[in-house]
Amino acid sequence: MKIQTVETTPFDDQRPGTSGLRKKVKVFQTPHYLANFVQSIFNVLADIEGQTLVVGGDGRYFNREALQIIVKMAAANGFGNVMVGLGGILSTPAASCIIRKYETYGGIILSASHNPGGPEADFGIKYNTANGGPAPEKITEAIFSNSRKITQYRILDSADIDLDTLGEQRLGNMRVEIIDSVSDYADMMEQLFDFDAMCSLLTSNSFSMRFDAMNAVTGPYALEILENRLGAPSGTVLRGEPLADFGGAHPDPNLVHAKELVAVMMGADGPDFGAASDGDGDRNMILGRDFYVTPSDSLAVLAANASLVSGYQQGLAGVARSMPTSQAIDRVAAAKGIECYETPTGWKFFGNLLDAGKITLCGEESFGTGSNHVREKDGLWAVLFWLNILAVRKQSVADIVNDHWKQYGRDVYTRHDYEAIATEGANALMDQLRARTSELTDQRFGDYIVAHCDDFSYTDSIDNSVSSKQGIRLLFKNGARIVYRLSGTGTEGATLRVYIEQPENDPAKFAQDPQQSLAELIGLSASIAKIKDYTGRSRPDVIT
């Protein structure tokens, strides 16, 4: 075996988004494309000689091939050890768990999260630091800067490693350990939650649930925890086998892409509890019988009931939400007398707060919830948290949420996504809104008066870093909000996300359909931003 130094030229499109670099598979298959980015990661890291790196992914198309390249490059760049998930599989939260448990240098996660998989679909890669969380902007910007001037990369000339056998192998001077992808994560969940109470619930004749793994990475984790350790009946986990193309489905746990689960849950004979996770296991959707829990409400309910869960009975240090997430969690924090932080979208912004011990729970409206147990959002963890609450309270999902609204009020909330729109039009839409922020302040639109309009900027309270242009906010005097933001997770065109929210304290109106309750604001959101003019779209592609 010998180290090869390969001459290369830079690519100009390797700036990581909110969660790593995501492109079409065919882009990553371009000669040198993946290797350039991996070498750029290694070039900006300090003192990697002899260190341990965790590597794994969500099993999507090109996962195994990419992993072989990365492991050989790690050996050529001086890493002493690499821990690889069996079959190349590691969910994103499990990778974070392993980085933290074994105190490794960091990890590389291969995933495009909730994006489709397959030869014509999407692929992604991101670097996580020693705290288990996504690299902060100062590192991702350094990686991007290096990718624009890279001239060579190093890779070991060797045969591929065996990804499918547990145990140790050698790759040059580097030790490769193929590890059980599931056990460490499942053990951690058993420490956080009351498995005895949850087992009693799941094995009773009066309770049933379905978990849709969407042919994605969470399948093996859900099978081990829900069916093997907690005793749920066989068949509780749906689509539990990870497939390279996710079975041709879109592994995004929302009402549109998890429609089969939604159909199962609707009706008088539906299961008591339903949930789904996404491509890499970091997102979740929560359902009751005939009842959908918005991610914002889910975060608030978890915070309000944390004292019922063994791993969180010591209390919450604080909570945090991304700026577009509804203010439901703010109400709980105020009632409990704890701090609630508002950050930009992107899990990396929660990392400093978690590391500093300022928060215990955090979440985003984009179906992501998590806590201080890892440094990633964690879909299955959120499902188990809900199961623990259900086991203790012995109420339905709908009753728990309705009781929550009666105590704290409801933030009626929706998100409208305009997907794969022309990037030029999307940027022009945001630019004209940004130019009108002062003009829009104090304007009246029907019953709504704009109290404040800005382009959200965030100053990190720990390291004082500043993140600007994080979304246009219209804050109305009655507490309602409209937020416009371009997503950083797509690979084709641009995705415009519009978030619409209005507080409601009248219990008689809690059961209303949010699309009806928010109809006037929804209309305003389209007309104020001139969405049709700039995008050509008269309606969103996805409503959640």
Q: Which residues are catalytic?
A: 113
End-to-end CA distance of the chain: 52
| Amino acid residing at 422 | A
CA 14 – CA 145 distance, rounded (Å): 9
Pull the structure tokens for residue 184.
């460490």
What is the number of helices (H) and of strands (E) in the chain? 19, 27
Query: DSSP assignment of 126-191, as one string?
Result: EEE-TTSSBPPHHHHHHHHHHHTT--EEEEEE-PPP-TTS-EEEEETTEEEEEE-SSHHHHHHHHH
Instruction: Give the count of beta carbons closer than 10 Å to the beta carbon of residue 93.
Output: 30
Closest CA to 177 of 94, 81, 107, 64: 81
Do β-strands 472-476 and 361-364 pair in parallel, antiparallel, or remain unpaired?
Answer: unpaired
Tokens 């991007």 -> residue:
144
- By the 8 A CB rule, do 219 and 251 touch? no
CB-facing half-sphere around the CA of 215: CA atoms within 13 A: 18
DSSP state of 375: S
Element (H, E) at 106: strand 106-110
Pull the structure tokens for residue 115.
């994006």
Instruction: State phi, psi for 473 to the nearest 5 degrees.
Output: -115, 130
Closest CA to 212 of 181, 182, 241: 241
CA 239 – CA 227 distance, rounded (Å): 14
Side by side, the strands of the sheet bearing 448-455 are 444-445, 448-455, 472-476, 481-486, 494-504, 410-421, 542-543
The per-residue b/e assignment along 387-421, b for 16 or more CB within 10 angstroms, e otherwise, is: bbbbbbeeebbbebbbebbeebbbbbbbbbbbbeb
Q: Based on the number of CB atoms within 10 Å of its own CB, is 458 exposed (0-12), middle (13-18) or buried (19 or more)?
A: middle
Instruction: State phi, psi for 287 to the nearest 5 degrees.
Output: -135, 145
Residue 274's contacts (CB-CB under 8 Å, 6 or more residues apart) are: 209, 210, 211, 212, 261, 262, 264, 265, 286, 287, 288
DSSP state of 310: G
Region of 196 please: left (phi>0), alpha (psi -120 to 50) or beta.
alpha
